Amino acid sequence: MATISPSNSFIMVDKPSKRHPSKDLHYRPGSSSTSYAHDWSSAGTGGGVRLQGRYFVDGYGRICNLRGVNLSGSCKTPVNHTNEDWPEDPKIVTFVGRPFPLSEAHEHLSRLRRWGLTFIRFLVTWEAVEHEGPGIYDQAYLDYLRELLSMLPKYGISAFISMHQDVWSRYTGGSGAPAWTVEAAGFDLDNLEETGAAWLGGMRGGGHTEMERGLWPTGYHKLAASTMNTVFWAGDTFAPKLKAKGDVPIQQFLQNAFLNMWEVVARAVGDLEGVIGFQMMNEPHRGYIDLKSMYSFDYNTELHLSHIPSTFQSFQLGAGYPTLIPTWTRSFPMPTKQTTHTLLNEGKKKAWKEDGPTKGQCLWEMHGVWGWCKTKKQAVVLRENYFVKHPISGEKIEWYTDYYYPFMKKWAERVLKASTPDKILFVEAIPNEFCPTSWTEERRIPNMVYAPHWYDLYSLFNKKFGEFSVNVQGLSRGMFPLRAFYWGHKGARDNFSRQIRTLAEEAYKSLGEIPMLIGECGIPMDMNQGEAFVTEDFIWQKRMMDAMITGLDRALVGFNLWNYNPDNTDEEGDQWNGENFSWFSQRRAMPNFLLEYEQTSPHLDGGGRILDSVVRPYPAKVAGIPLEFNYEMMNGEMSFSWMIPEGGGDNGDNQLRTHETEIFFPSLLASGRKVLLEAQIDMSHYDYNDESEILKKLQVLTKEKYTYTYDEKRQTLYVVPKDNSPGTKHSIRVKVWPPIRPVFNLNDFWSDFGIWVGAVGVVIVALLVAVIIGVMTVWMGYD
């Protein structure tokens, strides 16, 4: 089984604050406190979670495997958003109650605790904080945030605040920034759709039909979002003539507003125990920076679907010129193909406000990037390489090194000063890109965690999952096609494992000993034409989720699933751009007055769709270095190995302050069954004829190596090895009895087609033998 190689070093810089009672000779596992494996509160971790090398560690020096959810996709839109009335007055929106009202918090937080998903990526948007105007902050929303986040430690939950955005803003087809930022750049919000500057159908409830499915990401390279990202990161370089109110350069205006907003958020919640850190921006995008061609986009990196104007064509459309645009449709074997052209902006609308800072002129025409030839009555590109080199100095531009890293350092300084200097800061690269090699030590920020996203692009684009899966990540980087194709569930597990392992390995190559966590990963619940909502058979969703989490387990990386959304419905999904990723729906849950809230309460499972794939065991707090982990949902069995770190303290002893490892083992799996732990030992050299004798011997050997106890009320398996010498490797197998019934068939190419391949092989061999015999007969006859 493939795994990520563990770090060779585990020497604590700051000694853990406490000595755990499990260091005592007569300690009974699980007796030290009332905490549990998935409890990330200060009490449950011996003082909190911090960073050490590539690991998260608790106050006892244990390595922590953090996993949880994104909370929540509903945070992208205000509570008072309606599809029919959009766009509403942007100044009067409210996000108080996102992701759920305070009165419902006990139910949802209890549910996440029961499911062991207690490390939260908590979504906030710039619009939620500052929608009314620059410097006008929504105090009611900030108060709501503080009250909700202050509840988290009671449930063992810890969270980091992620400032979410997609395609810049709701007003450019996504989520994130307030409307006034778009207007500050000169855009007319009423004309963005007709001019092809943005696709806004998803804001009005669209995105569910075959024609609209998956269109929203194309907004990244349309005029509005591309321009906003460009002027935010590099307005001083590429748009120096654009000034906001008060004659402030647009880059300075937007960045200062963003940093000021972040400081307000950090001051509001940064002192709370349940807030472990911050993430500057979800899925950042470079806009036009580094743009190689004005005439086309790279098919391998940019989604080509429906109307895809080139950058040059976007300029023309936004300036009011009707333009014939390539139109792309889904195809096979290539994802899409150009099928026709469509004339857009026949009404000759302008994307730019006449009374705005550009006076109705295209910003990029104003900067001499292109112009309109009155003689030929056509547009012409004047500076083809404008976004590749500095317009004045001619020096080559690189988005990461020239803009992203420097701004991130400014942000880190502001939020750490506004909160506490020990907050963990989560960062990511551009989606679908590997961690850049330019992210060298001097360009990093304090307390940094790399938190990229991973989705299976083949299934995501097609909203389909079946026996056949494809490694799009590998194909886009030159992998031989036959190596990128997989069959069956074993194949899907191997496919996803390879992709996630590659993502992790590339990150460690670039960053070295920096912790990594997958900030987003998930599956579309409406896959396969949404047939599961009709049949109530979510088998393919279960299979895909299992394949994905198996890949994450094998890579030994924590993650935040996208997403837990109480507002999700079968019909409308997550109610944003046609997405439907939440495997929980409040509409399917029991009324809260009927619920019980203990960790063992199955009532909390109502509303969950594929829980046998989502809720699964994992080693949460490891007294050593994790080496390999795997869970098999076909039988409810997990295997785990870890190593006691080599000496790094006084007298050659390691600086772990505990011998106890805590494994989250869900009541959902254990209820009504017995949880058994076995040492993983090679029994082949023991001379036993009876299998029962082998099992008895294994039990004896297990007791010689480990003491353990399972507490279902805390959903925790406590394990204490008897040999904790530095360098000792431990391997255990945990299973339930009676075993669970397999959910689906664990198949691959050979199990499905092996007999046919074998039959064809026999026929071929028989034909070859017949030919050889015939040839020999003829030859002997002549002889």
Q: Which residues are catalytically annotated? A: 283, 520
Q: How many Å apart are CA 623 and CA 640, to the nearest integer? A: 13
Residue 515 main-chain phi, psi, to 5 deg: -60, 150
Helix (H) or strand (E) holding 554: helix 539-555
Could you write out the three-class secondary structure of 186-252? Answer: CECHHHCCCCCCCCCHHHHCCCCCCCCCCCHHHHHHCHHHHHHHHHHHHHHHHCCCCEECCCEEHHH
Q: How many Å apart are CA 218 and CA 220, to the nearest integer? A: 5
CA separation (Å) from 230 to 251, 255, 288? 9, 12, 6
Q: What is the DSSP letter of 606?
A: T
DSSP per residue, 142-173: HHHHHHHHTTGGGGT-EEEEEE--BSSBGGGT
Tally the C-alpha atoms within 13 A of residue 393's C-alpha that lie toward its C-beta: 5
Q: How many Å apart are CA 246 and CA 727, to the nearest integer? A: 64
Q: How many Å apart are CA 215 and CA 305, to the nearest integer? A: 7
Tokens coding 608: 């969950």
Bond prior to 563 in cis (omega within 30° of 0): yes
Ramachandran category for residue 394: left, alpha or beta (phi over 0 → left; psi -120 to 50 → alpha): left
The amino acid occupying position 354 is: E
730 beta partners:
642
Helix (H) or strand (E) holding 267: helix 250-269
Q: How many Å apart are CA 629 and CA 618, to the nearest integer? A: 8
Neighbours of 340 (CB within 10 A): 10
Burial of 479 (0-12, 13-18, 19+ CB in 10 A): middle
Tokens coding 474: 């590998």
Cβ-based neighbours of 73, under 8 Å, separated by 6 or more: 123, 562, 563, 565, 568, 574, 576, 579, 581, 582
Q: How many Å apart are CA 44 and CA 47, to the nearest integer? A: 8
Tokens coding 618: 């994992």
Neighbours of 358 (CB within 10 A): 22
- Taken in order 547, 548, 552, 558, the sign of the CA dihedral is negative
Q: What is the DSSP letter of 552?
A: H
The amino acid occupying position 344 is: L
Instruction: Name the nearest CA neighbour of 284 among 148, 407, 143.
Output: 407
707 beta partners:
720
Q: How many Å apart are CA 529 and CA 596, to the nearest integer? A: 35
Q: How many Å apart are CA 332 and CA 423, to the nearest integer? A: 47
End-to-end C-alpha distance for the chain, whole angstroms: 57
Assign 601 to helix, strand or coil.
coil
Tokens coding 539: 């088998």
Q: How many Å apart are CA 718 and CA 33, to the nearest integer? A: 12
The amino acid occupying position 408 is: M
